């Protein structure tokens, strides 16, 4: 009996010693906390693989990577900053990066840019995170919003790519159909996500496409301008061809309307939706013969199409514990052999920021890139012709000059205005005046009013 108790004691002491040894070893390591927004399993696995290779080369560094949903990220960043314990690295929207940089909360990533080669980064990418002479944000990958449509149905109806909003309304009307003759609509002409983020994305796009602005040089809202009234009238007309309950649909539900054959167009589609089509649409329809993309139309006061670019930059926080180690990790992340693995997890949405990778044969040979080439060509057209901007950014100077855009996004003012017009029947001019007043109060309260 005593022998058994002695054995248990010895085993317990050994486990305690090993535990203490492990804790001491971990304590000797420098820990990098990395928050990113790619929650899909393939991207998480790619990041884990990159982390594993990095840690093998740097045994003194531990990388703790955490995938966060967009709805949770902003709040977690703000809470961490308030507590004085930010992560080393985090994704964030471009307007978030601009706001935090304006408050002096970020460190430059110039060393990472130098390691990649500044000339090796696409020009459009450089505009997102560069403030003055320094890069305070570096995009992890880029992809634009897309007008996805049922190519087969459009061909049956003889429809052409919409050049104007009136064209889009006509196409939406033609594609709203009762296919079985029971008097009920089976396929709606168009679908969009109705949550706050996507409504803000939509309003930025439509404002740009209609030749308008959201805020003037004095930071005063321009929500009562004729360009905004035209936008609201357009949305009011468009919603009659949208499925019931669209205002409660998120991105996934909206794409389900497309691949589930309940909608014939999706205005706020993205390249990552190609993966959803491949997974959920009937196998014989999961291709560009059925699901293709059109260039987006412009409004009555506009001349060019406009789309949103989804390109969250990495941010390095000023008060983090191990900034230099985080810089080394980013250098490693963007090396072609590592970066390719990440890009290939969502290949129709993740455009590489580096010219070297985008031109490499290994990238071009990616099966999905060959299959959905047209989707990529439209995104390249937007990017190469400067037709895309980040959320709520109308002109590039808005990035540095309007740091309150993040708060406008979070306030829900634009969504409330849209819902009042489209769901509650409030006249556009009345809803716009109400939103104008709220936005003016917010800008004044934050100390940005110059009027």
The DSSP secondary-structure symbol of 401 reads: H
CA angle 395, 400, 403 (to 5 degrees): 100
Q: Are 338 and 165 in contact (CB under 8 A)?
A: no
What domains can be seen in the chain, in order of their start residue? 29-142+311-371 (3.40.190.10), 145-309+395-445 (3.40.190.10)
Q: What count of residues does the chain have?
A: 451
Per-residue buried b or exposed e for 393-406, using 16+ beta carbons within 10 Å of the residue's own CB: bbeeebbeebbbbb
DSSP 391: T
Is the Cβ–Cβ distance between 144 and 128 less than 8 Å? no
Token pair, residue 64, equals 């703790």
**Rounded CA gap, 87 and 46, in Å?**
20
For 277, residues 6+ apart whose C-beta sits below 8 A from its C-beta are 255, 258, 259, 285, 286, 291
d(CA 201, CA 307): 9
pLDDT at 1: 45
User: What pLDDT, on the 0 to 100 scale, is given for residue 72?
Assistant: 82
- Cα of first residue to Cα of last residue in the chain, in angstroms, is 87
Cα separation, 169 vs 149, whole angstroms: 13
Lookup: tokens for 239: 């919603």
pTM to 2 decimal places: 0.87
Q: Where are the beta strands (DSSP E) in 133-273?
A: 134-135, 138-139, 143-150, 265-270
Residues 422 and 254: their CA atoms lie apart, in Å, by 17
Tokens of 380: 């390249």
Residue of 205, 128, 217, 105 whose CA lies nearest to 450:
217
- Read off the tokens for 336: 């072609």
Measured between alpha carbons, how far is 332 from 89 in angstroms, rounded to an integer? 14
Contact yes or no for 382/144 (Cβ under 8 A): yes
User: Which residues, other chains included, contact 108 with Cβ-Cβ below 8 Å and sequence gap of 6+?
Assistant: 134, 135, 136, 316
Q: What is the pLDDT along the chain (451 residues), one digit of tens a residue?
A: 445 555 555 555 555 555 554 444 445 789 999 999 999 899 999 999 999 999 999 999 999 999 998 778 888 999 999 999 999 999 998 989 999 999 999 999 999 999 999 999 999 999 999 999 999 999 999 999 999 999 999 999 999 999 999 999 999 999 999 999 999 999 999 999 999 999 999 999 999 999 999 999 999 999 999 999 999 999 999 999 999 999 999 988 999 999 999 999 999 999 999 999 999 999 999 999 999 999 999 999 999 999 999 999 999 999 999 999 999 999 999 999 999 999 999 999 999 999 999 999 999 999 999 999 999 999 999 998 999 999 999 999 998 899 899 899 999 999 999 999 999 999 999 999 999 999 999 999 999 999 9
157 burial level (CB within 10 Å; 0-12, 13-18, 19+): middle
Q: How many CB atoms lie within 10 A of CB 150?
A: 22
Indicate the SS3 state at residue 359: coil
- Collapsed DSSP state (helix, strand, coil) of residue 315: strand
Cα→Cα distances 429→223, 239, 426, Å: 9, 18, 8
- The strand pairing partners of 317, in sequence order, are 106
Q: Which tokens hold the place of 235? A: 């949305």
Written as six digits, the tokens of 65 are: 């990577």
Sign of CA dihedral 345, 348, 349, 351: positive
Q: Which two tokens stand for residue 393?
A: 């950014």
Rg over alpha carbons for the chain, rounded to the nearest Å, is 25
Contact 377, 71 (CB under 8 A): no
Burial 167-179 (b: 16+ CB within 10 A, else e): bbbebbebbbeee
Rounded-to-integer distance, Cα 439 and Cα 239, Å: 25
């Amino acid at each position: 009996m005593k022998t058994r108790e002695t054995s248990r004691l010895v085993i317990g002491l050994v486990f305690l010693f090993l535990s203490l040894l492990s804790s001491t070893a971990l304590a000797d390591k420098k820990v990098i906390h990395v928050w990113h927004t790619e929650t899909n399993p393939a991207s998480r696995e790619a990041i884990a693989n990159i982390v594993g290779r990095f840690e093998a080369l740097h045994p003194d560094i531990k990388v703790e990577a955490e995938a966060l949903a967009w709805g949770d990220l902003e709040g977690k960043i703000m809470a961490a900053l308030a507590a004085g314990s930010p992560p080393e690295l985090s994704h964030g929207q471009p307007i978030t990066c601009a706001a935090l940089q304006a408050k002096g909360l970020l460190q430059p990533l110039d060393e990472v840019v130098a390691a990649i080669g500044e000339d090796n980064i696409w020009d459009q990418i450089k505009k997102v995170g560069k403030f003055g002479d320094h890069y305070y944000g570096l995009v992890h990958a880029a992809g634009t919003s897309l007008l996805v449509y049922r190519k087969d149905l459009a061909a049956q109806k003889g429809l052409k790519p919409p050049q104007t909003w009136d064209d889009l309304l006509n196409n939406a009307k033609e594609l709203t159909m009762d296919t079985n003759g029971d008097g009920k609509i089976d396929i709606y002409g168009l679908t969009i996500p109705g949550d706050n983020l996507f409504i803000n994305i939509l309003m930025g796009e439509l404002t740009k496409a209609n030749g308008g602005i959201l805020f003037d040089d004095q930071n005063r809202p321009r929500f009562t301008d004729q360009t905004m009234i035209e936008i609201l009238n357009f949305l009011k007309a468009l919603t009659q061809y949208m499925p019931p309950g669209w205002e409660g649909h998120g991105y996934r539900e909206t794409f389900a309307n497309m691949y589930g054959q309940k909608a014939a167009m999706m205005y706020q589609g993205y390249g990552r939706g190609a993966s959803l089509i491949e997974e959920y649409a009937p196998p014989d329809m999961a291709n560009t013969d059925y699901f293709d993309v059109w260039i987006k139309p412009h409004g009555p006061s506009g001349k060019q199409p406009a789309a949103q670019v989804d390109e969250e930059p990495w941010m390095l926080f000023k008060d983090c514990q191990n900034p230099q180690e985080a810089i080394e990790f980013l250098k490693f992340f963007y090396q072609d052999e590592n970066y390719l693995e990440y890009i290939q997890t969502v290949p129709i949405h993740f455009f590489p920021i580096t010219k070297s990778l985008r031109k490499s044969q290994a990238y071009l040979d990616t099966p999905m890139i060959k299959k959905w080439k047209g989707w990529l060509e439209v995104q390249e057209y937007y990017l190469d012709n400067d037709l895309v901007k980040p959320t709520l950014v109308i002109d590039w100077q808005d990035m540095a000059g309007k740091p309150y855009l993040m708060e406008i996004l979070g306030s829900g003012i634009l969504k409330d205005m849209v819902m009042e017009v489209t769901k509650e029947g409030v006249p556009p001019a009345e809803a716009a005046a109400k939103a104008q007043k709220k936005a003016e109060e917010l800008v004044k309260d934050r100390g940005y009013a110059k009027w």
